[in-house]
Amino acid sequence: MKGEGNNFYGKTHNEVSRKKISKAVTGKNMGSENPAAKKIKNNQNEFFETIRSAAMHIGVSDSAISNSIRRNHKCGGFFWEYV
């Protein structure tokens, strides 16, 4: 639920809660360690462990590459696909 109907609308987490949340997610499966991460390649057969690593390499956003895979469009001058 979004906006004013949400119970947490207009509130923020206190410092103790933020530290608990931070501790809970620290060291979790991030990047290529994430079991759901998918390897991708471009049309020049350059392979990347994650969409984010490819995006950083060519200087675009990760959502731009993700959209180009779904829509079969170029992004950063390349066509992309999941491996």
**Strand runs (DSSP E) across 2-75, as ranges?**
40-42, 47-48
Q: What is the pLDDT of residue 72?
A: 94
26 vs 80, higher pLDDT? 80
The sign of the torsion formed by the CA atoms of 11, 16, 19, 25 equals negative
Which residue type does 74 have? K
Q: What is the pLDDT of residue 27?
A: 78
Q: What is the pLDDT of residue 33?
A: 80
* In the block, residue with structure tokens 């990760």: 62
- Predicted TM-score (pTM) of the model is 0.65
Q: What is the pLDDT of residue 25?
A: 84
- Angle formed by the axes of helices 51-58 and 62-71, nearest 10°: 110
**1-54 pLDDT, tens digit each:** 788 889 999 999 999 999 999 988 887 777 778 888 889 999 999 999 999 999
DSSP-derived letter for residue 34 is: S
